[in-house]
Amino acid sequence: MTKSNTKRILKSEYPDFGVDSRYSSDEQKRKDGKQLLKSRLEKLESLPNNQIVKAKLLQLKFRIEEYLKEPVIQEQNAFSHFLSNYVDTLYDRRNKFAKDLNITPVVLSQILNNHRKPKEEFLLKLVLHSQIAYANVSQFSHKTWFEVYYHQKISDTLASESKWLPKIKKEVSIKNSELAVIHAD
Do 57 and 89 meet the contact criterion of CB atoms below 8 Å apart? yes
**What distance in Å separates the CA atoms of residue 153 and residue 149, rounded to the nearest whole number?**
6
Name the phi and psi angles at 7, rounded to 5.
Answer: -60, -40
The minimum distance between CB 49 and another protein, in angstroms, equals: 9
The minimum distance between CB 182 and another protein, in angstroms, equals: 38
Nearer to another protein, 114 or 138 (CB): 138
Nearer to another protein, 65 or 161 (CB): 65
Nearer to another protein, 37 or 73 (CB): 37
Count Cα neighbours of 117 within 13 Å in the Cβ-side half-sphere.
8
Q: Give the C-alpha distances (Å, rounded to integers) separating 126 from 75, 87, 145.
A: 21, 10, 8
Nearer to another protein, 17 or 175 (CB): 17
Residues that bind another protein (CB under 8 A): 1, 6-7, 9-11, 13-23, 29, 32-33, 35-37, 39-40, 43-44, 47, 51-52, 54-56, 58-59, 62-63, 66, 137-139
